[in-house]
Amino acid sequence: MGKARQEQYVAIGIGTEKYAIRIHDIEEIIRMQEVTKIPNVQAHIKGVINLRGRIIPIVSLRHRFGLIEEEYTKDTRIVVVKYADEMIGIVVDSVSQVTTFSEIQPPPETFGDVKGSFFSGIGHENEELVSILNLDKVLQQ
């Protein structure tokens, strides 16, 4: 890929790791709220919320990445994204800032496993490497 078009991303945190979501895919970012559980759904779906009259499914990124669920904190957020003409909320531990990357490289080939396919690339920000989420893979059932 080389040089990135100056596309903007929102940096999110899961545990100590930083990830990024294209700002173009984000509808809004809201504080954590009560999630209504639904029976018989995949384990990574926490349930649904009512956002101004719209029912939105909520996905746990921690669960998706095979991490232990932790207590929500004052920094926990729901990132509401547009996906396949739907709105889906993704629970993240924190949202830090809007950023652009000087360079984006494809993810390493060794990411050929399931987890690796969750990323569309690795962005360089200052001296930091940030994995860019591939929402198609993260949100696929």
Residues 37-67: pLDDT tens digits?
A: 999 998 899 999 999 999 999 999 999 988 9
Q: In the 8-state DSSP scheme, what is residue 113?
A: S
Structure tokens at 119: 């990323």
pLDDT value at 2 more than 70:
no
pLDDT attached to residue 8: 95
Return mean pLDDT, the chain: 89
Whole-angstrom distance, CA of residue 58 vs CA of residue 88:
6
The class of domain 9-139 in CATH terms is: mainly beta
Whole-angstrom distance, CA of residue 32 vs CA of residue 50:
12
pLDDT value at 4 more than 50:
no
**Between 52 and 110, the higher pLDDT residue:** 52
Q: What is the mean pLDDT of residues 3-21?
A: 86
Whole-angstrom distance, CA of residue 79 vs CA of residue 60:
11
pLDDT category of residue 128 using cuts at 50, 70 and 90: confident
How far, CA to CA in Å, does 17 sit from each of 13, 69, 79, 95?
6, 15, 16, 12
Percent of the chain surpassing pLDDT 70: 90
